[in-house]
Amino acid sequence: MTYEQLLKKFEKLPQPKIVDVNLKVEIYPSTRDFTAEGYYWLKNKTNKPMTEIHIQNDVEHKMKLAYLKFEGGAKKNRKYEKQGYIIHTLNKPLAPSDSIKMSFKTMFETKGFVANGSNTNVVYNGTFFNNTYFPSIGYNNGYEIGDDDTRRKYKLKEKERMMEQNDPIGLSQSLFGDDADYISFEMVIGTEKDQTAIAPGYLQKSWEEKNRKYFHYKMDVPMCNFYSIVSAKYEVKKDKWIAPDGKPVSLEIYYNKGHEYNLDKMMSSMKSSFDYFSRNFSPYQYRQMRIMEFPKYADFAQSFANTVPFSEGIGFIQKISDPEEDLDMPYYVTAHELGHQWWGHQVAEANVKGNAMLSETQAQYSALMVMKHAIKPAMMQKFLKYELDRYLRGRSSERKKEQPLNMVEGQGYIHYQKGSLAMFALQDYIGEDKVNLALRNFLKDWQYPGPDSKNKRYPTSNDLLGYFKAQTPDSLKNIITDMFESITLFENKTEKVEYKDLKNKTFEVKITTSSEKFRADSSGNEKPIAINDWIDVGVYGEDIKGEPNLLYLQKHKVNKRPTLLPS
């Protein structure tokens, strides 16, 4: 039987939430092993006593649970060995609002080698893993079979990718998981003498003991239950950024010696990003930001509290041959990941359809605005064309169903690529200041959400859309529907161009355009709909170098086909 067939019955069983994490992690890079030992404090946030606590050990990474015990005592009721699922019955029920200490030790060991699928998170130089390796609380639907073809083999019905937006369980959970809201965090990491180990939080002290190096980190405010552990032979580049209130923020980039190529770009992006986000959204919540390089076994960066592990492949060793022609991805990715300190960490979204529109799409927008003020318009246009191409390719290979942006179900081509286009267009139509005001108001109302907050839940994409609609004039409300609430596409063509030389270094230009508007369903079936939209029309010339030179760009109302401009 599958994980789901055995354990789905426990999915909605109320469980305590992790509120405090205190661990000691010993990393052994030379043998590619680690241990983690310490405790969680678990709190009953429901209004009924709890007699059982369900533990999910990480079986994906073959973690070995050396021990797990509860203060006050408990006995193992049932254990599903293959699934790593253990049910403990408490000696004394956990009353509402009470907490219980759960102590444990878990181990990761590398033995020999495998034909394929070797673990690339725990390595000789550049270890990077996160708290998914540690025990979690309750049923984990991430272990369910996602592929519908495979599900049919096990006689499982088709799986919905995400919960509906009004699902009370989904609204009570954040994107970081259902076993915690915000936590207190403290960690000691031991590693080999020539390496530096980093976790979220502020370094309390470091020392050497038995030919090993130790680092003690502690966060001084509650944070999301999402943290990383990194260890490598690092050099460090340091700088600082001064916040609008005059407080200094330490900036550090930890890198592999010889990978200095893009450090200045990344540091510049950090400063520009903090300037823009703190001025337009809300103050930065921490006193530091650290970027840490990890090996090119993966090409991504990931934002944890005041900490961003960053692949060498998309930042540190990516070659920018021609700054005038090449997209500066290290600069852009840095801005995107820092955006998550707001969109994801200051505001975590509900675990329902559309959730990535709050985190990923707004991080995209944040990075785009930093870029907009740093690069030439032609380069921004090139980037947006790149995003458009990736969105169109993504929707053509959709295996299940395309969703509107506000209902996205973990589909990267929607929340990243379409999200970039939608947000950039929104600020172009209603104004950058209006979009930022909407986001600022949203943050004021939804900062640090969850069941314990004033709203008693996490926000959804439609909550955010309400703030955008409040700043959008009635004459432009259709763009919210087109870009966020539906799948709408345009087919715009230039049919004919005529011009007349007016002899005074000016020209009269007449353009005949053809524009069609389509609404698509989730399967890609398109039908034409009436068009009555403001569409950009531009005229380019050439500069003395033969490069395109924008001479004219204005929005024109297009409501028929064809349209003669100016009309």
Q: Are residues 430 and 491 in the same domain?
A: no
Residue 359, in any domain of the structure: yes
Q: Are residues 471 and 509 in the same domain?
A: no
Q: Are residues 445 and 500 in the same domain?
A: no
d(CA 363, CA 416): 9
Last residue of a domain, one of 159, 182, 217: 159
Q: Are residues 474 and 367 in the same domain?
A: yes
139: domain CATH number is: 2.60.40
How many structural domains is the chain composed of? 3
Q: Are residues 430 and 512 in the same domain?
A: no
Residue 136, in any domain of the structure: yes
Of 428, 409, 313, 314, which is closest to residue 365 (Cα–Cα)? 428
Contact (CB, 8 A) for 405 and 360? no
Q: How far, in Å, are 38, 50, 60, 94, 179 from residue 91 at the CA level?
A: 21, 11, 30, 9, 22
**Reported pTM:** 0.95
Contact (CB, 8 A) for 452 and 181? yes
- Model pLDDT, residue 567: 66
- Model pLDDT, residue 325: 80
**Torsion sign, CA atoms 435, 438, 441, 447:** negative
Q: Are residues 418 and 544 in the same domain?
A: no
Q: Are residues 152 and 64 in the same domain?
A: yes
Give SS3 for 408.
Answer: coil
Last residue of a domain, one of 159, 177, 203: 159
At 299-311, the pLDDT tens digits run: 999 999 999 999 9
Residue 289, in any domain of the structure: no
Q: Are residues 15 and 126 in the same domain?
A: yes
- Radius of gyration (C-alpha) of the chain in whole angstroms: 26
Give SS3 for 204.
Answer: strand
d(CA 387, CA 483): 15
Q: Are residues 413 and 386 in the same domain?
A: yes
Q: Are residues 422 and 501 in the same domain?
A: no
For 89-100, give the secondary structure using H, E and C.
EEEEEECCCCEE
Last residue of a domain, one of 137, 159, 181: 159
Q: Are residues 85 and 147 in the same domain?
A: yes
Residue 107: what residue type? M
d(CA 306, CA 287): 8
In Å, how far from its chain's centre is CA 141?
19
Q: Which residues in the chain show pLDDT less than 70? A: 567
Residue 387: what residue type? E
Residue 97: what residue type? S
Tokens of 151: 């599900």
Residue 433, in any domain of the structure: yes
Residue 173, in any domain of the structure: no
Residue 69, in any domain of the structure: yes
Show the beta-strand stretches assigned E in 163-261.
Answer: 180-192, 196-198, 202-209, 212-218, 223-224, 228-232, 235-242, 248-255
Phi first, then psi, for residue 400 (nearest 5°) are: -115, -85
- Model pLDDT, residue 261: 96
Domain containing 520 equals: 487-567
Phi first, then psi, for residue 120 (nearest 5°) are: -110, 15
348: domain CATH number is: 1.10.390.10
Residue 174, in any domain of the structure: no
d(CA 371, CA 355): 24
Residue 284, in any domain of the structure: no
Q: Are residues 476 and 533 in the same domain?
A: no
At 452-501, the pLDDT tens digits run: 999 999 999 999 999 999 999 999 999 999 999 999 999 999 999 999 99
